[in-house]
Amino acid sequence: MTSKHSVRERIEKLVKDLNYHNYRYYILDNPEISDAEYDKMLRELQKLEGENPEFQLPDSPSQRVGAKPLDKFKKHKHKTLMLSLNNAMDDEELLAFDERVKKFLETSKEVGYTAELKFDGLAIELVYENRILTVGSTRGDGETGEDVTPNIKTVKNIPLHLSDKPPAYLEVRGEVVLTKRAFAKLNEEREKGEEPLFANPRNAAAGSVRQLDSKITAKRPLHFFAYGIGETKGELFDSQYELLKKLSRFGIPVNEHCALCKNIDEVQRFFKKIGEKREKLDYEIDGIVVKVNDFRLQDKLGTISRSPRWAIARKFAAQEASTVIEDIIVQVGRTGALTPVAKLKPVHVGGVTVKSATLHNQDEIDRKDIRIGDTVFIRRAGDVIPEVIKIVESKRHKNSRPYKMPKQCPECGAEALKDEEEVVSRCIGLSCPAKLKEGIRHFVSKGGMDIEGIGHKLVEQFVDEGLVKKFSDFYTLTEKDILKLERQGEKSAKNHIEAIEKSKHVSLDRFIYALGIRHVGEHLSKVLAQEFGDIKKLEHVKEDILIKIHEIGPEVAFAVSHFFNEPRNLQEIHNLLHAGVKSIGQKKKTGGRFEGKTFVLTGTLPRLQRGEAKRMIEAEGGHVAGSVSGNTDFVVAGSEPGSKFDKAKELKVPIIDEEDLLRLLKGS
Ligand code: IVH
């Protein structure tokens, strides 16, 4: 039996090692062990602590998962006030701050600053005594906050134990933030659970930290960034920049975006640079914080009514504004998706004029009850298309009506369909100009009509030059047409026309696939081909017929029947057939032409791919074998046939070519 003493030693070792690995993972971003190894050690620790609760250490990482819920938070009085910041809303106010600092210090020389991000989260203070995290508290009113220690211990990048040589007593101040992604996910979950939504990541971070049940906090991906200190005993620091570097050495997370600036001009450059990076950051910031770097100068400057004279927040311009929706238009994307867009009375937001905002889809419009004529709040997030946040109900016109998306595609007039599962509606028109390029790329692709040599670039040229407005236009192209395009010579024009000609012979499944019907990929194209055997049989097909087919679900039946009932599509299929496209059916039938017959394929066939020929034979009830034997009825030989050809000759098996095969298939 293990002695109490050795259990205690093992616990101490595990705590020490786990804290070290935590530091490698969260601070250095350079782990030495795998997650699985970490978990194994953590589980061992949890087990030992469970059996010997008296040995649990205050910096034990087992507390990362949360502790028992509290009834209420204890108060925590900060030893020194947690200050707030004055704001500079524009360049002028920032320059005025620099002037004030110089005036107060009675100097005309440049003052050096540290520029940091202004995190939009929740301010907290961490107390480390003899390296160990003992208290985590909120800012509260600056004098007294709430003791949220168990919650703080669940924030994974906050060290429970400091490294290097930290002061014996150290109060670290900083901000807890929630990632934008985690915020979005959290709100999604709350929406499902019909709980009230958090307005922004800051509120969500605050709500997560001020949780009586720390197990809930533990589930939220919170991050901490240190930006300062409160009281310390032991080591002294000379400047803000040096302080940040040292905190980082103690294992305390400090954000990577911070700069030591020689003067206020450099600060302005940093501000601009951060403004450009802002959207890419995974957490919200609302500006930068500018601090006189030298601590002696900070002391001289002092504070005035709870804000330091030595620091200022340079805030970003507001990203929200109110305006009026003058109209709602519908745009059709490359995939045929219809997107409603609000046309706005032009408004300045964050330095640019905004004239439109996306409304996403009908569900979103319904949820926010957005109508033409409404006064709305919009938000602009960097390069992203502005969004309507909410409407101002008090300003709504009496006679306004709910907005409904059109049932027809505004580009081509074909039906716009919405699946039950989906939120967006899509145009199902084959020749819709909005979808053309994407649709044509699919049409000519390998799995479709397989028109060799016609790549993305060429499709672009065909469409832009107006040579191809619908699929069937390919089959009326001439060499002369192609020669009109840039970088096309006589040889390539000839090759393209030949490739187009060759594509006219196509198996039915590839023809169906080429049409680009929603939800109908290569496999379902085969299913449909085998079931119907002829494109004509699909025209006007009803959903209730389709749904009976094995492998076809309601969604597919819905899409397929609508597709083959749209007059514009039927016209285009007709155009293709008229232009000479021959889709060869593979209807599965008993008593087919090749019932009981065995074929062997060898060499390269001029038009059909091997898989295709096989499917055609099988569709007529025939069997395709891999080798020639006495039982073989036909060997189909293409160019450069292999040993099977010789074997066939030897066994006197009839040898036919592709032409013969196609003739046999047609029964002529
Ligand atoms: S220094 C010395 N630095 O902004 C003044 N504060 O109104 C004390 N904040 O609640 C703060 N990022 O939590 C400082 N890099 C940063 C900051 C920052 C965000 C918050 C802070 C405080 C508020 C100030």
Q: How does pLDDT run across 505-529, given as a tens digit for each residue? A: 999 999 999 999 988 988 899 889 9
What does the alpha-carbon distance between residue 155 and residue 28 come to, in Å, rounded to a whole number?
16
Q: Is residue 81 part of a domain?
A: yes
Ligand 1 site-directed mutation target among 175, 295, 299, most atoms within 8 Å of CB:
175
Instruction: Give me the residues paired with residue 406 across strands.
Output: none
R_g of the chain computed on alpha carbons? 36
Q: Is residue 410 part of a domain?
A: no
Residue 335 buriedness (CB in 10 A; 0-12 / 13-18 / 19+): middle
Token pair listed for 490: 């006589």
Instruction: Say which CATH number the domain at 561 has.
Output: 1.10.150.20
Is 192 among the residues known to form the active site?
A: no
What does the alpha-carbon distance between residue 292 and residue 395 come to, in Å, rounded to a whole number?
47
What does the alpha-carbon distance between residue 251 and residue 137 come to, in Å, rounded to a whole number?
19
Mean pLDDT of the chain: 89
Kindly indicate the confidence band of residue 123, based on its pLDDT and cuts at 50, 70 and 90. Answer: very high
As a residue count, the chain comes to 668
Q: Which residues in 241-336 belong to E strands, given as ranges?
A: 258-261, 285-292, 303-304, 307-308, 311-315, 320-332
The rounded percent of the chain whose pLDDT value lies above 90 is 57
pLDDT at 586: 66
Ligand 1: nearest atom to the Cα of 175: 13
What does the alpha-carbon distance between residue 190 and residue 79 come to, in Å, rounded to a whole number?
38
84 CA distance to ligand 1 centroid (A)? 6
Q: Residues 378, 357: contact at Cβ < 8 Å? A: yes
**Measured CA distances, 223 to 81, 121, 198 (Å):** 23, 10, 18
Closest to 22 in 3D by CA, of 153, 211, 178, 171: 153
b/e burial code for range 312-331 (CB count within 10 A of at least 16 → b): bbbbbeebebbbbbeebebe
Q: Residues 144, 55: contact at Cβ < 8 Å? A: no
Instruction: Say which CATH number the domain at 234 has.
Output: 3.30.470.30
Task: Give tens-digit pLDDT for 125-141.
Answer: 999 999 999 999 999 88
Range of the domain at 465: 426-584
606 CA distance to ligand 1 centroid (A)? 74
pLDDT at 350: 63
Token pair listed for 619: 């569709």
Ligand 1 site-directed mutation target among 84, 223, 301, most atoms within 8 Å of CB:
84
Do 162 and 104 sit in the same domain of this protein?
yes
What does the alpha-carbon distance between residue 124 and residue 11 come to, in Å, rounded to a whole number?
29
70 CA distance to ligand 1 centroid (A)? 28
Distance, CA of 613 to chain centre: 42
Instruction: Give me the residues paired with residue 59 across strands.
Output: none
Q: Is residue 563 part of a domain?
A: yes
pLDDT at 665: 84
Ligand 1 site-directed mutation target among 85, 86, 290, most atoms within 8 Å of CB:
85
**Among the three residues 536, 556, 584, which one is the final residue of a domain in this structure?**
584
The average pLDDT across 420-437 equals 85
Task: Give tens-digit pLDDT for 464-476.
Answer: 899 999 999 999 9
For 326-330, 472-476, 617-621, which range has the lowest pLDDT when averaged over its residues?
617-621
What does the alpha-carbon distance between residue 251 and residue 23 come to, in Å, rounded to a whole number?
6
For 9-13, 60-64, 69-73, 270-274, which range has the lowest pLDDT when averaged over its residues?
69-73
311 CA distance to ligand 1 centroid (A)? 9
What does the alpha-carbon distance between residue 579 and residue 577 come to, in Å, rounded to a whole number?
5
pLDDT at 317: 78
User: Nearest 5°: CA angle at 577, between 571 and 579?
Assistant: 100
Do 438 and 564 sit in the same domain of this protein?
yes
Do 578 and 615 sit in the same domain of this protein?
no
What does the alpha-carbon distance between residue 444 and residue 167 come to, in Å, rounded to a whole number?
70
pTM value > 0.85: no
Q: Is residue 413 part of a domain?
A: no
| Cβ(205) – ligand 1 distance below 6 Å | no
The rounded percent of the chain whose pLDDT value lies above 70 is 97
The average pLDDT across 80-102 equals 93
Q: Is residue 71 part of a domain?
A: no
| Cβ(284) – ligand 1 distance below 6 Å | no
Check whether 589 has a pLDDT greater than 60. Answer: no
Catalytic position from the list 72, 75, 103, 118 = 118
Check whether 382 has a pLDDT greater than 60. Answer: no
What does the alpha-carbon distance between residue 628 and residue 634 come to, in Å, rounded to a whole number?
9
The average pLDDT across 381-392 equals 77
Check whether 383 has a pLDDT greater than 90. Answer: no
Check whether 36 has a pLDDT greater than 70. Answer: yes
Check whether 668 has a pLDDT greater than 70. Answer: no
253 CA distance to ligand 1 centroid (A)? 15
The average pLDDT across 213-232 equals 93
**Number of domains forming the structure of the chain:** 5
Q: Scanning the structure block, which residue is given the tokens 């220690």?
A: 149
Task: Give tens-digit pLDDT for 147-192.
Answer: 999 999 999 999 999 999 999 999 999 999 998 888 888 878 877 7
Do 520 and 567 sit in the same domain of this protein?
yes
85 CA distance to ligand 1 centroid (A)? 7
Check whether 284 has a pLDDT greater than 80. Answer: yes
Do 188 and 214 sit in the same domain of this protein?
yes
Q: Phi/psi of residue 251, each to 5°?
A: 95, 10
| Cβ(474) – ligand 1 distance below 6 Å | no
Do 88 and 171 sit in the same domain of this protein?
yes
Task: Give tens-digit pLDDT for 253-281.
Answer: 999 999 999 999 999 999 999 999 988 89
Do 133 and 241 sit in the same domain of this protein?
yes
| Cβ(128) – ligand 1 distance below 6 Å | no
Kindly indicate the confidence band of residue 384, based on its pLDDT and cuts at 50, 70 and 90. Answer: low
524: DSSP letter: H
Do 367 and 447 sit in the same domain of this protein?
no
| Cβ(175) – ligand 1 distance below 6 Å | yes
Do 192 and 155 sit in the same domain of this protein?
yes
pLDDT at 590: 61
| Cβ(308) – ligand 1 distance below 6 Å | yes
Check whether 638 has a pLDDT greater than 70. Answer: yes
Q: Phi/psi of residue 509, each to 5°?
A: -65, -40
| Cβ(118) – ligand 1 distance below 6 Å | yes
End-to-end CA gap in the chain: 91
pLDDT at 619: 79
Q: Is residue 515 part of a domain?
A: yes
Residue 524 identity (one-letter amino acid): L
Task: Give tens-digit pLDDT for 296-320.
Answer: 999 999 998 788 999 999 998 777 8
Ligand 1: nearest atom to the Cα of 310: 2
| Cβ(83) – ligand 1 distance below 6 Å | yes
| Cβ(125) – ligand 1 distance below 6 Å | no
| Cβ(85) – ligand 1 distance below 6 Å | yes
**Measured CA distances, 385 to 129, 345, 428 (Å):** 49, 16, 26
Instruction: Give me the residues paired with residue 639 across strands.
Output: 604
Check whether 585 has a pLDDT greater than 70. Answer: yes
Sign of CA dihedral 11, 13, 14, 20: positive
249 CA distance to ligand 1 centroid (A)? 21
Half-sphere exposure (Cβ direction) of 274: Cα atoms closer than 13 Å: 28
Q: Scanning the structure block, which residue is given the tokens 């000759």?
A: 649
Do 434 and 465 sit in the same domain of this protein?
yes
Question: In this predicted model, which residue has the larger pLDDT, 97 or 596?
Answer: 97
**Measured CA distances, 127 to 174, 205, 223 (Å):** 12, 20, 17
Q: Residues 239, 297: contact at Cβ < 8 Å? A: no
29 CA distance to ligand 1 centroid (A)? 25
**Among the three residues 339, 372, 395, which one is the final residue of a domain in this structure?**
395
Do 385 and 492 sit in the same domain of this protein?
no
Do 43 and 83 sit in the same domain of this protein?
no
Ligand 1: residue whose CA is nearest its atom 23? 84
Instruction: Give me the residues paired with residue 6 across strands.
Output: none
Instruction: Say which CATH number the domain at 358 has.
Output: 2.40.50.140
pLDDT at 11: 94
If one counts every other C-beta atom within 10 angstroms of the C-beta of residue 645, the result is: 19
Q: Quick one: residue 453, left, alpha or beta (phi over 0 = left, psi -120 to 50 = alpha)?
A: left
Check whether 406 has a pLDDT greater than 80. Answer: yes
Q: Residues 145, 78: contact at Cβ < 8 Å? A: yes
Ligand 1 site-directed mutation target among 82, 87, 114, 118, most atoms within 8 Å of CB:
118
What does the alpha-carbon distance between residue 83 and residue 497 come to, in Å, rounded to a whole number?
76
Q: Is residue 602 part of a domain?
A: yes
